[in-house]
Each structure stands twice: as structure tokens, then as C-alpha cells.
Amino acid sequence: MNKLSSLIFGVVLTVLVSEHAVADQAPPPAAPLEQGAGVTESMKKQKKFLASMVEMVRSYGYRCDSISGVVPFAFSKGYNLWCNHSDYHYEIADKGGEWVVTID
């Protein structure tokens, strides 16, 4: 391998390794709304809020790859969240000023 080929190979290898390292550090994408998801039109517009709910669920080690539905609690501060074609149901509730995720 001549010097020019070695230099090009080194640059390409460095770029590939750097891109891989950056990709590993990138946060997972927000979960998309499923077609026909049980989410009100006004909540569909609150993309950051929905992404925050998904991130909170994931921070507890649970899965949420797509949103099937979101319904606010009727009598207290919190939400029911269904994910992955309703395979998973989570309750995200304000418990003494702290948000807590539980799986149902």
C-alpha cells in the first residue's frame, strides 16, 4: 500500500469510527404515533410532551417503540400510556410531587 492509499484508508477509518461513536451516544428517537392511536387531536400537537412521556417510560427500563394511546387520569394528576400496539400499558403519575412510571 502506498502512502496516499494508507492516508486515505486512515481518514476513512477515522470517519467511520467517529460516526459509529456519535451514533451510539445519540438518544433513541421519540416513539411514533400508531395509525388510529387513541390520542386527542390537541395532544397529537404536543410532540415534546409525548416524547417526554416516552423518555420517562424508557428511563425506567421499559419499552415504548410506538404510542397506541394516551388518556389523562380523571381524578388525579397523571396519564395512562399504551405502547407497542397496546402490548404495554403504563401509568405515569404524580406521586407526592415526583413523576412515577408503573407498568400495568
Give the type of residue at 60: Y
Give the chain's residues under pLDDT 50.
1, 3-24, 26
Per-residue 3-state assignment (H helix, E strand, C coil) for 56-91: HHHHCCCCCCCEEEEEECCCCCEEEEEECCCCEEEE
pLDDT score of 70: 96
DSSP state of 99: E
The pTM assigned to this predicted structure is 0.71
pLDDT score of 28: 52
